[in-house]
A and B are shown apart, each in its own frame.
Chain A
Amino acid sequence: MAIKAKKVSASLEELLDPTSGQWSGVAGEKIEMAATPLANQPSEYIKASRDEKKIGKVRELEVKCCHNGGQVFLRLEWADEARNLEVTETNTFPDGAGVLFPIKDEPPIDEMGRKEERVNAWYWRADFADQPKNVWAEGLSTTNYSEESFIKAKSRWENGKWQVVLARNLAVGGPPDESVKLEVGKPTKIGFAVWEGGNGERAGVKSFSKEWRDFELEA
């Protein structure tokens, strides 16, 4: 089923706030999440040292989205009993979430793009001070941060739940092959990932939305 961003009349400030009343009028979609396949990990060590049954701890993600003509908003919510905010010791890892879009063609979602088939991720992490990274990749182990990120975020954790809103202008500057182009009425694809820091999840060790979903900004 397609994920559709309805058009709303609200400001960036209002919609960036995950607790804003604006969001109560937006229907949420529950996305089933799964552990990333160990067989795809670009590290023999990760393959040998991890158990697919124990990674990808977050198995359900609620996604709400909308746009206001100028900006698109994605509100992610998932259960996480204990938040992991910072790297406090060598063995602690922060929680994170990502939204993935193909920039060119439609490479398999579990390969982070392919050569000549780039993908763009909006990467939020609890220790990024709500300044998500703009990530582009063309295959496993090739992710890069863009020099400039046009993505905004606001996050809160309460009562065992993370609520994160990611926002971006529909049209952005920067190298055109590093950011997905979003246009009203022009469908694209979307995918999701969540890292449970408390479970040592980082890099490709995470849960993901298994398949691309159609994504469309409604007029």
Chain B
Amino acid sequence: MADKTQQQLEEEKKKRQEELAREAKAKKEQLRTVDHQLAMVFDLNKCLGCQTCTIACKTLWTREEGMEYMWWATVNTQPGKGTPKDWEKMGGGFRGEFKEPIAGQLPLVDDFGAAWEFNYDEVFQGGKGNGVYLKVKGEEPKWGPNWDEDQGGGQYPNSFYFYLPRICNHCSYPACLEACPRNAIYKRKEDGITLIDEKRCRGYRFCMEACPYKKIYFNHVKKVAQKCIFCFPRVEKKVPPACARQCPGRLRFVGLLDDETSPVYKLVKEWKVALPLHPETGTEPNVYYVPPLAPPRFNERGEIDETKPRIPLKYLQYLFGDEVERALETLKGEMAKTRRGEKSELMDLLIVYQWKELFSHLTQDPAELRWT
């Protein structure tokens, strides 16, 4: 048989590459296809920035060596640089309807904020009395996970801020899953929780680059990527995630997006007042936010001025997309109803008279469980 020409070889190679690309695509499709999707809704009008969620998560999941700088659940003041610092400028996610991946950058430990060590020994055992005070050991830190707390934006008397809790968005089209060359990231069929299989993960960190929300951390001891797991071991026992169950503000709703009885369904699908953060990333997050309505602003004469919102609409559109305007109108309309003494299903839903209504089918009290 005559040798193949260069052109034939090139064509064969190209065909094979297309075949490989098709196979890889099918595999990714399989890894992200789910039967049901758990979702969380945060009502930003109720978040006090108390960080109970942050600590609930920290004490439960990220106490091991190598996890010191990890905060799978964070709460940051907006406007602000967030955690990691300036994460919104780090790229990642997708462009356009064909979901073309966008290059992203790797957030550094210092961008998240390294865990500080304090001079406890010196203060408590140093025998220096009042001569020393509690401070960070070594170089003075220049950034931390909640560094710009309560700075906010705007000018007095119309300054404003609100809190933005964040966890992994457990996206329907996760950029991390798409990026991993080892197929180590997958969504669970039964509830859509996005997980990193640490046995497959080799710590290559393409996922960290690709995630536009920069919610993946690198464990420097285990050399693997780690992130929020939506407390799946709790969820499997019908216990809500720790951040949600311990939130004293009753603002974290949890439920399946296709469960028409769940408040999550009602807020996202029916009332459409809960919106994903930065929808333009194309990852289709499953964490949603009820946008904040601030108190009215004052005009130059110090009178209440309701013609313009205190939080600039543009800023909320930047965070939550153009849908936010309609969501805010719905919220205002329903609030007005209650002020007139009428009943509003939406307001009742957001008030959460019964705490456990937040969690729909996740009704189990963890204290009554035997954990093995």
Contacts and interface: CB of A to CB of B under 8 A. Distances in A.
Interface in A39-74: 39-49
Contacts of A45: 101, 175, 178-179, 206, 209-210
Interface in A161-216: 202-204
Given A140-B24, A203-B181, A49 B100 contact: no
B106 A91 contact: yes
A203 B206 contact: yes
B181 A90 contact: no
A46 B181 contact: yes
B220 A203 contact: no
A56 B203 CA distance: 19
A90 B108 contact: yes
Nearest to B180: A43
A89 B208 CA distance: 13
A37 interface: yes
Contact of A49 (B25, B107, B209): B209
B33 interface: no
A41 B108 CA distance: 25
A89 B109 contact: yes
Interface residues of B, number: 35
A91 B109 CA distance: 9
A8 interface: no
Given A43-B179, A43-B180, A141-B24, A48 B102 contact: yes
B21 interface: yes
A219 interface: no
Interface in B91-114: 100-104, 106-109
Q: Which of A45, A89, A204 has most B Cβ within 10 Å?
A: A45
Contacts of B289: none
Contact of A87 (B17, B21, B206, B220): B220
Given A48-B102, A89-B108, A89-B109, A43 B24 contact: yes
B20 A40 contact: yes
Interface string B190-211: 0000000000001111101110
Contacts of A87: 203, 218, 220, 223
Interface string B17-56: 1001100110110000000000000000000000000000
Contacts of A41: 181
B308 interface: no
A89 B203 CA distance: 12
A108 B203 CA distance: 26
Contact of B208 (A43, A49, A90, A202): A90
Contacts of B179: 43-46
Interface in B161-201: 175, 178-183
Interface string B140-179: 0000000000000000000000000000000000010011
Contacts of B175: 45
Contacts of A143: 182
Nearest to A37: B17
Given A41-B181, A48-B102, A141-B182, A90 B20 contact: no
Contacts of A40: 17, 20
Contacts of B27: 42, 141
6 contacts: A41-B181, A90-B106, A91-B108, A108-B16, A203-B181, A203-B182
Interface of B: 16-17, 20-21, 24-25, 27-28, 100-104, 106-109, 175, 178-183, 202-206, 208-210, 218, 220, 223
Given A43-B178, A91-B106, A202-B204, 14 more contacts: A37-B17, A43-B181, A43-B206, A44-B25, A44-B101, A45-B175, A45-B209, A46-B179, A46-B181, A48-B100, A90-B108, A90-B109, A141-B24, A203-B204
